[in-house]
Amino acid sequence: MDRLVDGNPPLLKLQPRLLHAALYTLVMYQTAREIFPDTSWLRLSSEQRRIVDNETMNILTFSRTRLETLRFARIFAEPSLDPAAPTGHELGTPPTPQEDTRRPPGQYA
């Protein structure tokens, strides 16, 4: 009888690479069903499989980018010390127009 590892038989303990491959395959299969709903996975041409693979990578890249962006914002964002609007301003009202003191191009004298 095999030894138990963490209370489970050793065959049931999944390796991370196997788990990642299984999850990637699941996402790829779901993508194929969305793009080509009337075609079985086994009947997809090599070009259709390439399209499915590219779209799967696009989905995973977008989701990873979004997660990394959220993680970056959570770690490095600093709360505002003074959340109130500056004095003399109301939120939602346009600023008062100021006089344009810039010179037209070429007028340096």
Query: Which residues make Cβ contacts (< 8 Å) with residue 52, sequence separation at least 6?
Result: 28, 31, 32, 35, 36, 44
Query: Which residues make Cβ contacts (< 8 Å) with residue 32, sequence separation at least 6?
Result: 39, 41, 44, 48, 49, 52
Supply the DSSP symbol for 20.
Answer: H
pLDDT (tens digit, 0 to 9) for every residue of the chain, 109 residues total?
Answer: 455 555 555 554 556 778 888 888 899 999 999 999 999 989 999 999 999 999 999 988 888 888 888 777 777 766 555 555 556 555 555 667 777 677 666 655 5
For residue 85, the model assigns a pLDDT of: 57
Contact in structure between 36 and 51 (CB atoms under 8 Å): no
